[in-house]
Structure 1
Amino acid sequence: MDNLQSLLTTIDNFVWGPPLLILLVGTGVYFTFRLGLLQFRYLPTALKMVFSKADSSKQGDVSSFAALCTALSATIGTGNIVGVATAIKLGGPGALFWMWLAALFGMATKYAECLLAVKYRKVDDKGQMIGGPMYYLQYGVGSKALAVLFAVFALAVACFGIGTFPQVNAIVDASEISFGISREISATLLTLLVAFVTLGGIRSIAQVAGKVVPAMALFYVLACLSVIIINGDKLLDAVELVLVSAFTSTAATGGFLGAGVMLAIQSGIARGVFSNESGLGSAPMAAAAAKTDSCVRQGLISMTGTFFDTIIICTMTGLALILTGAWQSDFAGAAMTTHAFAVGLNAQTLGPMLVSVGLIFFAFTTILGWNYYGERCVVYLLGTKAVLPYKFVYVGLVASGAFLHLDMIWIIADIVNGLMAVPNLIGLIALRQVVIEETKLYFANMAAVKSQQVTA
């Protein structure tokens, strides 16, 4: 077992080495400047679109808001609680800065991939919208091989990576530690809930996500804000520590072993991408189901997912860890965040319970979102006839995930995550002119409409 774990760690370090991180961030940097800092200039417009009333007459399966919530249900998960703690434990407070940077550039990547998903989407033989990297790789780039490669890797992420094992483990651990519920009972209840929701398809998942995601995000942000407000006198020092640590080595203090700048960069970017999934190609599969007649509009709406996930939620977790000194403790992962809430709220029972509730809901919706992504890959690879067998396999994996070793789970999740990004990024780079032209056309039309309204 130790030899296997050592081999997987070596593979993980290779996959998530400098080449992939440079490719991920570099793609975001390219689109940021070629699109004229779109994510900064049009973020208010995009946020307005998120909360505007949907037009039900447009072609698609669910509203743009529901599509965003489905994507967010998959991205807002253990990465926001466990992932941030892991990044800061490895790379120090400076890792949070690199998470921010990866997210800001990642918004442009998310915009581009979701724009392409809507542009190249198709209708399956059940009348549902299907799209994502598989379709823009096949019909845009013209590479069936890359499309199949992406679908296989994404299916592996759904079944053996982000979609199941880390989330299931987080739920059963939180239930056992905070509420004294046995792993067997938690696993059984979770499996039944997942089966009940996922068998209803995208509309059922979107309906649950549309209600649960905004509520759980608001709940967790308010809990983090309470910690930040109570410890508000240290906030400026915490922000200064993040900025200074991003460019200088962090000394060993307490339970923190110390970290150089490269480790801060690598852990911050890797965990940031794990959390918001920009460039991985997952969110486009949800975006393709949106009721819209504009690929640019859906791209703008979808890019707010990275903003909500990392700039808001991950920042809240990171500041709570730094303000309370939890990052210097001997704790790691969810236990570190739990410790931060216990210290920050001066409540040894309430603090851990808040983290546990947040973790349970975050992880549950991630399982739902990735079930849908896996289903889209199965439809692409095997057709709609394979959907029901896939769902039974997925539910079975959820049931077994509670009893697997955590270290191995995170390593496998990281590897398949990284592999999934490669064909998607190749597609984004190959279709960069399509993204640029569609964007120019959309905003030129918008300017023309405004000009006509002024002269009318």
Structure 2
Amino acid sequence: MELLGMDLLAILTGIDEFIWGPPLLVLLVGTGFFLTWKLGLIQVFRLPLALWYLINSRKAETGVQGDISSFAALSTALSATIGTGNIVGVATAIKTGGPGALFWMFLAAFFGMATMYSESLLAVKYRVVDANGQMSGGPMYYIKNGLGHKKYSRVLAPLFAFFGVNVALFGIGIFPQVNAIVDSARIAFNVPEVLSAFVISLLVAFVTLGGIRRIAAVAQLLVPFMAVAYVLGCIVIIALNLEKLPETFGLIISSAFTGAATSGGFLGAGVMLAIRIGVARGIFSNESGLGSAPIAAAAAKVREPARQGLISMTGTFFDTIVVCLMTGTVLIMTGSWTEDLAGAYMTSYAFSTVLEETGSYIVTVGLIFFAFTTILGWNYYGERCTEFLFGVKGILPYRIIYILIVASGAFLTLDVIWVLADIVNGLMAIPNLIALLALRKVIAAETRQYFEKLGLENPEMKT
């Protein structure tokens, strides 16, 4: 049986490496590049407008359908995306691919902003009201309602929802997050695993059983607070080492195109490894193209799909271009990437070299909050996918199963489950990317119409 388990693990690992290899990464970045070209560099020319909308998005629009404000929808999406990937993922990318991985992570996020805009626009345009009177939207609905005349939509829509439920229950939604919280609480505060698991389960049950409004309320409170506190910590470290900034950025750019030589505890990395690791970690962090964030966008009380698309686009900007770039800069500037450390330990070490014990606590507490809100966000994503597959009658059973898995997540270390979750996470992107490319004309038309309505000059958009 043990041999069979090893063979299964080896087979799944091979499938995982293939799925997250060049084909999917090229498709993800290629779709973002194509949409960037199609929409006339919308992430550059319309970012100031998007940030202005974000500042004024706390109050929901009146007289329109939706469950929560645009800001609450973005906070819910960010609660799922700003997670362990911003601390552990960045450290892993730089440790494996060298400083150049940070450049490719940045580039993937830049094109990913156009992808996030497009999928959130479609999510609002094609959303529906479920039997409980709540909004449901996301790739499964814009595949079904936007591509209903295509035979393949009958397969792609439920396929996306199926993958979405599995990612929520067995993927990045629970296991990495619960383990991160339990380990951090044990190392920093000597909290027993059983107690951590019980408290996490209790809090998750209290929040998620209240539905999207309670999830959004918690997300609006925690996400801005934890992100600002963490970024301020990064800024202080950078400010105290300002003389190293030119050298740090020079190393990032040079390593992106020439590779990184062996240094300290770093074993060296070539250009192709830096590209693959940087792009993969960047997409894992901001989830642009995976189709998860637009599920939250669909719940927003907003009249114009393009407006919510612009607000959602800022999520990728803050997640990767701000938070991940800050983390990576600190790791490289302090030299911690060359130490014999990995993951959260590397980031904690980087902060503690400058801010001493306070720095370590910033990382630990940030990781706990980041991981907890990710659990909440993915609960909602899986719930909407469940509703699409089984109707509203499937929501309560799903929530109970989710809470039970959260409770057991701290004690499960099955390698097969982790690899299988990674596979399903990658497969989730494929139906979404096909839909984005198939609905490209709808995206362009909605965008053009919206800016004309505002009386703004359009960027050079391609028909």
Q: What is the TM-score with the length of structure 2 in the denominator?
A: 0.95
Equivalent pair of 1:246/1:265 in contact (CA under 8 Å): yes
Supply the distance in 2 between the matched residues of 1:120 and 1:150 (Cα, whole angstroms).
16
Supply the distance in 2 between the matched residues of 1:5 and 1:250 (Cα, whole angstroms).
31
Offset at 1:406? 8.1
- SS of the residue corresponding to residue 258 of structure 1 reads coil
2:430 to 422, 428, 447: 422
Matches within 5 A, 1:36-115: 36-52=40-56, 53-115=59-121
Instruction: Tell me if 1:289 matches 2:299.
Output: yes
Supply the distance in 1 between the matched residues of 2:252 and 2:456 (Cα, whole angstroms).
44
Partner of 1:251: 261
Instruction: Tell me if 1:129 matches 2:135.
Output: yes
Instruction: Tell me if 1:357 matches 2:361.
Output: no
Over 3 Å counting, the alpha-carbon distance change for 1:448 and 1:268 in structure 2 is closer
Partner of 1:337: 347
Give the share of equivalent positions with the same residue, in percent. Answer: 64
- The Cα offsets for residues 64-114 of structure 1, whole Å up to 9 and x where unpaired, read as 000000000000000000000111111000000001000000000000000
Partner of 1:260: 270
Partner of 1:242: 252
2:23 to 14, 19, 35: 19
Instruction: Tell me if 1:148 matches 2:158.
Output: yes
Offset at 1:344? 2.8
Supply the distance in 2 between the matched residues of 1:408 and 1:401 (Cα, whole angstroms).
14
Offset at 1:334? 0.8
Partner of 2:461: none
- The Cα offsets for residues 385-430 of structure 1, whole Å up to 9 and x where unpaired, read as 1111100100011111111238666534432221100000000000
Question: Structure 1, unaligned stretches of length 5 or more?
Answer: 451-456
- The Cα offsets for residues 365-388 of structure 1, whole Å up to 9 and x where unpaired, read as 000000000000000000101111
Offset at 1:24? 0.3
Offset at 1:233? 1.5
Supply the distance in 1 between the matched residues of 2:454 and 2:103 (Cα, whole angstroms).
35
Partner of 1:453: none
Supply the distance in 2 between the matched residues of 1:412 and 1:355 (Cα, whole angstroms).
29
| Displacement over 3 Å in runs of 4+ | 1-5, 406-413
Supply the distance in 2 between the matched residues of 1:74 and 1:210 (Cα, whole angstroms).
12
Supply the distance in 1 between the matched residues of 2:198 and 2:238 (Cα, whole angstroms).
36
The letter for the 1-side match of 2:265 is: G
Question: Structure 2, unaligned stretches of length 5 or more?
Answer: 459-463
Partner of 1:454: none
Equivalent pair of 1:86/1:332 in contact (CA under 8 Å): yes
Over 3 Å counting, the alpha-carbon distance change for 1:344 and 1:187 in structure 2 is same
- SS of the residue corresponding to residue 388 of structure 1 reads helix
- The aligned length equals 448
Partner of 1:318: 328
Equivalent pair of 1:102/1:272 in contact (CA under 8 Å): yes
Offset at 1:339? 1.1
Supply the distance in 1 between the matched residues of 2:6 and 2:366 (Cα, whole angstroms).
33
Equivalent pair of 2:91/2:344 in contact (CA under 8 Å): yes
Offset at 1:292? 0.8
- The Cα offsets for residues 416-453 of structure 1, whole Å up to 9 and x where unpaired, read as 22110000000000000000010011111111799xxx
Supply the distance in 1 between the matched residues of 2:449 and 2:280 (Cα, whole angstroms).
34
Partner of 2:38: 34
Supply the distance in 2 between the matched residues of 1:96 and 1:409 (Cα, whole angstroms).
28
2:395 to 382, 387, 409: 387
- SS of the residue corresponding to residue 408 of structure 2 reads helix
Supply the distance in 1 between the matched residues of 2:412 and 2:335 (Cα, whole angstroms).
31
- The Cα offsets for residues 234-258 of structure 1, whole Å up to 9 and x where unpaired, read as 1110011000000012111111111
Equivalent pair of 2:75/2:223 in contact (CA under 8 Å): yes
Offset at 1:352? 1.8
- SS of the residue corresponding to residue 191 of structure 2 reads coil
Over 3 Å counting, the alpha-carbon distance change for 1:406 and 1:343 in structure 2 is farther
Over 3 Å counting, the alpha-carbon distance change for 1:448 and 1:106 in structure 2 is closer
The letter for the 1-side match of 2:338 is: Q
Over 3 Å counting, the alpha-carbon distance change for 1:271 and 1:413 in structure 2 is farther
Q: What is the TM-score with the length of structure 1 in the denominator?
A: 0.96
Equivalent pair of 1:166/1:409 in contact (CA under 8 Å): no
The letter for the 2-side match of 1:369 is: G
- SS of the residue corresponding to residue 247 of structure 1 reads helix
